Chain A
């Protein structure tokens, strides 16, 4: 391995060390997710004022938008991990990529369902084939494709490599989802929250949204860590470190 990569990062890539690292961090991540999620829900559903146009119906935004962000963010993580897995064949990267897919698919599904529930009263339709909605649906199919391809191989590492390839190709859809509202005329409105320039949302509505965004990030980490730990144990079941853990757990 190239020597510009810090040693600790290199070490973190080894299954037994990551197993312990994830085990220590996981409860904290989960606690932060629950705490921030509760604060964000209280802020969004109780403290935030009704919208001038949609009154109380806009409050589904506090679920819909953070989920949509996560659906793209997790895809990005999955694609980067897949890339590392394909080029450097690092086991941990394969596991992170493959275990991210179901979490991302869940967030995408939540995005589509909450968007549909929001669309009916406001737009007047559950679903329409505009560029934003269609590309988000394609994102769900990409996730499902990655999950399906991974499980269709007898040898899991071979499956992971095939699925990693699909994940990398699918990354092209991520900017399409994000910019669809700028590139085409869509029923879906443009971006409210901007990194560059002022957001188009008043501050007392914005902070619960950003808090929920942080909560979903921590939830993803907590969920990913538990999934990766289980997967590492299964993948390395013949190795000494797994046997040691099994013996220790067995004694208790």
Chain B
């Protein structure tokens, strides 16, 4: 390789490395702020205390959805492995909102309740036909959900 090309190669690589380090450090520093949501157990541990509004993420506890008969008000409980959080929301919910669905709610705390201004449904990266899902569900018998509920109950009794 002739000296000119070698010099250009070095300069380009050096600048690229410098930019990568700079962006890497920035991203690392933003790690805390770039988290999209807090889980109920993180909130109970006080991780969201410094935020006035934030996003809560977790699973809708089976059977916890209660709709008001005369308005769009809905209350439900969001759980994760070790925590739970009652949520209150007034508005239209996405199609995927149902028992045991992962949801993300934006809003603020009002004493022990979370008042949501927006509720989004999160879906996982698995795609399969319904028959296959039913067959798999039969094999598992909703094991994960039970575990989460037990963990949530343990947390509450402590």
Contacts and interface: CB of A to CB of B under 8 A. Distances in A.
Interface of A: 2, 49-54, 58, 61, 83, 86-88, 121-125, 128, 130-131, 165, 168-169, 171-172, 176, 184-187, 189-192, 200-202, 204-205
Contacts of A187: 36, 104, 120, 122
Contacts of B95: 121-122
A61 B94 CA distance: 19
A184 B32 CA distance: 9
Contacts of B126: 192, 200-201
A83 B127 CA distance: 39
Contact of B127 (A172, A184, A186, A202): A202
B125 A122 contact: no
Interface of B: 1, 5, 8-9, 12, 15-16, 19-20, 23, 27, 31, 34-37, 57, 93-97, 104, 118-134
- List of 9 A-B pairs having minimum Cβ-Cβ separation, nearest first: A124-B94, A52-B133, A49-B129, A189-B125, A202-B128, A52-B130, A192-B125, A200-B126, A201-B127
A178 B35 CA distance: 16
A169 B124 CA distance: 32
Q: Is the interface of A mostly helix, strand, loop or mixed?
A: loop
Contacts of B123: 53-54, 122-123, 189
Given A52-B129, A86-B12, 11 more contacts: A2-B1, A52-B130, A52-B132, A54-B127, A124-B119, A168-B12, A169-B15, A169-B16, A187-B120, A190-B124, A192-B126
